[in-house]
Amino acid sequence: MPSQKVLDEKKQIVAGLTDQFRNAVSGVLVDYCGLTVEQDTQLRNKLREAGVDYKVVKNTLTRLAADAVGFNELDPILNGPTALAISMTDEVAPAKVIAEFAKDNDKLEIKSGFLDGRVISLDEVKTLAATPNRDTLIAKIMGSLNAPVSKLVRTLQALVDNGVEPADIQKPAPAESAPAEEAPAEAPAEAPAAE
């Protein structure tokens, strides 16, 4: 039977993991079996650079924490070696880094994930990994908004470069209201031909 000290340590681990599950915006669970120490170190470094917390926790403790926040769907996959990649700020970072790393390292297998308080399937994790991160999406939106203004500025600059001064540009004349044309008089009806 485990000592009280060991039980207290496990309770602290479960409590900490429960808080992470509750406060994280996303996370990915992976099977890391077969990775070399060098590969694992590379993965940890990439995840750290992306601001993702990566850890290996016993499945029993992970199951207790997952059940505490309503992630019961994770129970069937919590078998064998399982590592967690959790982000508190970036929804796509864990999935993107793990998926990129798994392309070159077939030993790393994505099991499942969670996003905004719900468990997501393997397919949803892959879709999330293909999604641009928040900063990239904002940059694309800003570029789309900036494009029409940039085009106008280039057009105006081209006019100036070609010697056209603002004073030379004439406004189109306002359309004058044309008087209504008189309807043509109807042609007189032809007289019936005499027989």
pLDDT band at 31 (very low <50, low <70, confident <90, very high): very high
Q: Are residues 111 and 155 in the same domain?
A: no
User: What are the tens digits of pLDDT across the range 111-138?
Assistant: 999 998 899 988 888 888 887 766 666 7
pLDDT given for residue 134 in this prediction: 66
pLDDT band at 148 (very low <50, low <70, confident <90, very high): confident
Domain that holds residue 154: 136-163
Mean pLDDT over 186-190 rounds to 57
> Total domain count for the chain?
2
Beta carbons of 113 and 27 less than 8 angstroms apart: yes
* Cα separation, 155 vs 129, whole angstroms: 40
**CATH code for position 107:** 3.30.70.1730
- Bridge-based pairing state of the strands 109-115 and 53-56: unpaired
Beta carbons of 67 and 133 less than 8 angstroms apart: no
Distances in Å between the Cα of 158 and the Cα atoms of 49, 80, 144, 170 are 44, 66, 22, 17
Among 107, 131, 155, the domain-final residue is: 131
Q: Which residue has the higher pLDDT, 6 or 142?
A: 6
Q: Is residue 181 part of a domain?
A: no
Q: Does residue 71 surpass a pLDDT of 90?
A: yes
Q: Is residue 185 part of a domain?
A: no
Q: Are residues 146 and 71 in the same domain?
A: no
pTM of the complete model: 0.65
Q: Are residues 85 and 145 in the same domain?
A: no
Mean pLDDT for the chain? Answer: 83
Q: Is residue 32 part of a domain?
A: yes
3-state secondary structure string, 124-164? Answer: HHHHHHHCCCHHHHHHHHHHHHHHHHHHHHHHHHHHHHCCC
Q: Are residues 80 and 155 in the same domain?
A: no
Q: Are residues 38 and 121 in the same domain?
A: yes
User: What are the tens digits of pLDDT across the range 4-21?
Assistant: 888 889 899 999 999 999
* Cα separation, 47 vs 57, whole angstroms: 17
pLDDT given for residue 189 in this prediction: 57
